[in-house]
Amino acid sequence: MREKGRPEAALSMKAAASWSVTPAEPYRFRPGDRVAVRRADVPGHIRTPWYIRGRQGVIERICGTFPNPEELAYNRPGLPAQPLYRVRFRQADVWPDYAGPPADTIEVEIYQHWLEPA
């Protein structure tokens, strides 16, 4: 979805609302915000990859709000819905031995309750 004068990657709050479920937690981050992924070792079904926990990245886009899959896995309603963000990380920040070009990145979709301001 592209808005006039804005790059496609910078999904606006208005555009994200069209992909949203209610009731939902309010958005805490916007594209360009620096965030850190919580470093937590919680039991059960977790959607956030282990290798990205504790790392810092930048919000690339807002994907919308969706029922929390960590709750849905246990047959609970997953409400309030959680904002989902695509976060961009530098490969060298994720993999200490990464030998590729310094500008290489990886993008991971992460729910808001896993993110903190960096």
pLDDT in tens, 68-92: 999 999 999 999 999 999 999 999 9
Report how far residue 96's alpha carbon sits from residue 44's, in angstroms, rounded to the nearest whole number: 27
Domain range list for the chain? 13-117
pLDDT band at 45 (very low <50, low <70, confident <90, very high): confident
- pTM comes to 0.82
* Architecture label for domain 13-117: Roll (2.30)
pLDDT at 23: 78
Kindly give the pairing relationship between strand 82-90 and strand 105-111. antiparallel
